[in-house]
Amino acid sequence: ETGVTQSPTHLIKTRGQQVTLRCSSQSGHNTVSWYQQALGQGPQFIFQYYREEENGRGNFPPRFSGLQFPNYSSELNVNALELDDSALYLCASSLDRGNTEAFFGQGTRLTVV
Amino acid sequence: AQSVSQHNHHVILSEAASLELGCNYSYGGTVNLFWYVQYPGQHLQLLLKYFSGDPLVKGIKGFEAEFIKSKFSFNLRKPSVQWSDTAEYFCAVLVYGGSQGNLIFGKGTKLSVKP
C-alpha cells in the first residue's frame, strides 16, 4: 500500500453533471498531482497542487479544477461532464513539487453515460 | 514536445522466458526516467528509476533497465519472468515546468505470462 487513498472507487454520472473526486495524500507529502488514464492509454497529467495552490497544469480545459486543503488532501472537480471524461482518475502524492518519487492511489473509475 | 513511446502493446511470454520492453523518450531537459507497474486491480507502483550515474539501474522483483542516451531509450529487462509478473508496464519521463515536475507516460505494455 502507498498510503494514498482515493474515493470513491467507482462512479457513474450522466453527461452534463458535475463530479468531485477525493484524494488523501501520504503522511508528510505536501504535493498532490492528478492524472487521467483513459482506456488503453497511459496516465495524462491534469494538474498539480502544492501547499494549497495550483502549481502546474496539463492540457485540460478549465472545467477540470481542483483544491488542496491544509492537511494536503485534495479534490478534483469536473463540470459539464462529457462522455470522453470516462476514465480512471489517479492521484499521486510526493514530498516535493519536483515529483521525484510519486506514490499513486488506486484510482477512481468514472463512467459518464 | 515531450513524449514517451512504448513499442509493444501486448507481450505474451511463457514462464522463465526473458523479457525486454522497449521505451523511447523525447525530452530536451535533464532526463529522469521511470518504469511503473500496474498489477490487475492495484495501484501504479514504482519498479525502478534513473536520475544519474550508472546507466544500468536495478529495481524491485529482479527487473532492471538500461539508459542509453544516444538512443533516447530506457528499456526494461528481466532474465526470467514469472506468472506473477502479469501486469501492465508504463515507462515515464519526468518533465519540469518551473518548480513543478510531472510525469509523461507511455501508453503502456500489457504483459501476459503463461504458466
- Kindly report, residue by residue over B11-33, the tens digit of the pLDDT: 999 999 999 999 999 987 788 99
Percentages (nearest 5) of helix, strand, coil residues in chain B: 10, 60, 35
d(CA A108, CA A58): 19
Residue contact A42–B46, C-beta within 8 A = no
Residue B97 clears pLDDT 80, i.e. is over it: no
Higher pLDDT, A104 or B99: A104
State the average pLDDT for chain B. Answer: 93
When pLDDT is averaged across residues B46-60 and rounded to a whole number, the result is 95
Record: contact A45-B107, CB cut-off 8 A: no
Q: Are B90 and A43 in contact (CB under 8 A)?
A: yes
Residue-wise pLDDT tens digits, A75-91: 999 999 999 999 999 99
Which residues does chain B have within 8 Å of residue A105's beta carbon, measured at their own beta carbons?
43
- Chain A CB contacts of B29 under 8 Å are none
CA closest to B93 among chain A residues: A100
Element containing residue B60 per DSSP (H, E): none
User: Length of chain B, please?
Assistant: 115
Nearest to A33 among B4, B46, B102 (CB): B102
Question: What is the rounded CA–CA span in Å between residue A10 and residue A20?
Answer: 12
Q: Is residue A59 very low, low, confident or very high in pLDDT (cuts 50, 70, 90)?
A: very high
* Residue A102 identity: A
Specify the pLDDT at position A64: 98
Rounded to the nearest 5°, which phi and psi values hold at A41? -120, 165
**Cα distance between residue B37 and residue B109, in whole Å:** 10
User: Residue A25 carries which DSSP code?
Assistant: P
When computed from its CA atoms, the radius of gyration of chain B, rounded to whole angstroms, is 14
What are the residues of chain A with a beta carbon less than 8 Å away from any beta carbon of chain B? 2, 4, 33, 35, 40-45, 48, 50, 55-56, 58, 90, 92, 97-102, 104-107
pLDDT of residue A2: 65
